[in-house]
Amino acid sequence: MDERITEYRDAVYEQVVKVGKSLGNVTRLQLLNILAQGPKTVEVLASTVGLSVATVSRNLQILKQINLVAIEREKNFVTYRLNSERVKQLVTLLVDVCEETLPEMTILEKTLAQETGAPEALTGDALKTKLMADDVCLIDLRPADEFASQHLPGARNVPYDQLDQRLAELPKDKEVVVYCRGRLCAYANVASQQLQAAGFKVATFNQSVWEWSRVMTETE
């Protein structure tokens, strides 16, 4: 019986290790965080992370083998998506643990905020209060397909690469709150610097859309 207990223990740990190994790679974590924003083709993913289609495909296959991602086929197109909401939760939890246990993570975040002159990031509760008061203009900096997949209520989509050309669309009589893909993304901080230089009152929300939905669920 003791032998069976040991055999089972080793076997189940080995399964958990499979997931852990797949996450121990910068490219694969990037892919998971991007897919948390919505489904994408290999070509779009490759362009987003700045790697070859072959490299991205290889890493997606590793994630698919352990069922962290799934594929959808339509004619000649293959689209990848996260296999479940649990995968979003897993990525978020990894970031939470890093912030709690690794001083380097906090230093990186604080340094970026200082370099860009970004104001202290809003919490989910603080943003909810501002939205209820209807005294902010909420800007989603992600690409249009990610915005279409899911976005914060009342948000306006101004992709980061269009920001400079669309400043005239933004109000100067309201605080502008910018958000992007969450804490593993620097776009919100960099955009806040550009907006402040253009004379806007700015705040950042550095959590992901999924984290926002979690805040809303917990406060309902």
CB 87 within 8 A of CB 36: yes
DSSP string, 24-76: SSHHHHHHHHHHTT--EEHHHHHHHHT--HHHHHHHHHHHHHTTSEEEEEETT
CB 60 within 8 A of CB 80: yes
Contacts of 101 (CB under 8 A, 6+ apart): none
For the chain, the straight-line distance linking the first and the last C-alpha, in angstroms and rounded, comes to 48
What is the maximum span of the chain, computed from C-alpha positions, in angstroms?
A: 73
Active site residues: 180
Q: Taking CA 199 as the corner, what is the angle to CA 161 and CA 48, rounded to the nearest 5 degrees?
A: 15
* Chain centroid offset of residue 49 CA: 13
Please say whether the dihedral angle defined by the alpha carbons of residues 210, 91, 51 and 206, taken in this order, is positive or negative: positive
- Secondary element (H or E) of residue 128: helix 124-133
Phi and psi angles of residue 72, each rounded to the nearest 5 degrees, phi first:
-125, 130
